[in-house]
């Protein structure tokens, strides 16, 4: 019982930490939305509505894979760390590792 509750606490604290961090990002000035996506492009956590999330996740996942393969084609020892897409209205930032993708959309001009 004790062990399980301890385990639960640790898991909970991890989850809380994650959520805190995401809230922190979301709270920065100008951020419109934050999405956490798994390696296949399925959203895990989001602050936007479902259809927008799914659209962003699918499109950006493919783009990130492409960008990463580009970087690695040029130099196999290199890897993609950060992808920033600046459009007229927004800036989309994507960071990725082996398992997850974090997408942040910001409106840079006030």
Partner 1 sequence: MSSKRPKSKEASKIKGKGHPDYIFPLVLTSATQELFGCQADEDVTGENPYKLLKKEDIIKDMKTRASVSDFSPVKQLVLDYPEDELLLVFDRDFTYGQSFYLVLTVEAKENILKLRYKISPLQRRCGAPVCFSDRSAQDGKEGFVECPSYQDKSFSIREMEKHTAIQASSDTKNSSTQTLWKHPKNIWTQYEPREFSLEEKEHHLRSKNLKNFITSVLIRFEISLQQNYITDVFCDDWTALCEDEGALTGKTETQLKEYQSFMDLHFSKEKTISHVHWHPTISGVIAVAMTERLSLEERIDNSTKLLLNPSYILFWNFTDPINPQLQLECPDDVLCFQFCPSDPNIIAGGCMNGQIVLWDISAHVERLQDTRSGGKNISNKLDKNETPVVRYCAVSGIENGHKAPITDIQWLPETFELGSSGEYSPLKFSLRDNTVDCPSGDKPLQNAEREEGCGFAQLRVPSAKQQKPMENISTKLYVGTEDGELVYTDWKMEKDNDSGRLLKVEFLECFLSGTKPIHRFLVHDTLVNTVTRSPFFKDIILTVGSFSFAIWKEGVTNGPILMSAFSRTMRTVGHWSLSRPAVFFIGKEDGSIEIWDLLQNTHEPSQSQNISSAAITCIRTSCISSKQHLLAVSDRLGTLHILQIPWTLRRSSNSEELVMPLKQEEELEAEALKEYEQFLALEKDILKNMGLLNETEDSSDM
Q: Judged by CB under 8 A, does residue 79 bind partner 1?
A: no
Q: Judged by CB under 8 A, does residue 5 bind partner 1?
A: no
Q: Judged by CB under 8 A, does residue 86 bind partner 1?
A: yes
* Contact predicate 106/32, CB 8 Å: yes
DSSP H helical ranges for the chain: 2-27, 50-74
Calpha distance 103→61 (Å, rounded): 9
CA-CA distances (angstroms) from residue 24 to 2, 29, 31, 34, 38? 32, 10, 10, 10, 20
Q: Judged by CB under 8 A, does residue 97 bind partner 1?
A: yes
Binding mask 8-47 for partner 1 (x = CB under 8 A): ---xx-xx-xxx-xx-xx--xxxx----x-x-xxxxxx--
Q: How far is the CB of 102 from partner 1 (least distance, A)?
A: 6
How many Cβ atoms sit within 10 Å of the Cβ of residue 85?
Answer: 13
* Contact predicate 55/31, CB 8 Å: no
* Six-digit token string for 11: 């898991």
Q: How far is the CB of 3 from partner 1 (least distance, A)?
A: 16
| Binding residues vs partner 1 (CB under 8 A) | 11-12, 14-15, 17-19, 21-22, 24-25, 28-31, 36, 38, 40-45, 54, 57-58, 81-82, 84, 86, 91, 93, 95, 97, 99-100, 102, 104, 106, 108-109
């Amino acid at each position: 019982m004790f062990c399980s509750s301890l385990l639960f606490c640790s898991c909970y604290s991890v989850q809380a930490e994650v959520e805190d961090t995401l809230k922190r990002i979301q709270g920065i000035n100008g951020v419109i939305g934050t999405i956490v996506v798994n390696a296949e492009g399925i959203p895990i956590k989001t602050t936007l509505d479902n259809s927008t999330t799914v659209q962003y996740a699918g499109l950006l996942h493919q783009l990130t894979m492409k960008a990463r393969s580009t970087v690695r084609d040029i130099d196999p020892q290199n890897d993609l760390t950060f992808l920033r897409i600046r459009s007229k209205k927004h800036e989309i930032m994507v960071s990725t590792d082996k398992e997850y993708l974090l997408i942040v959309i910001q409106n840079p001009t006030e």
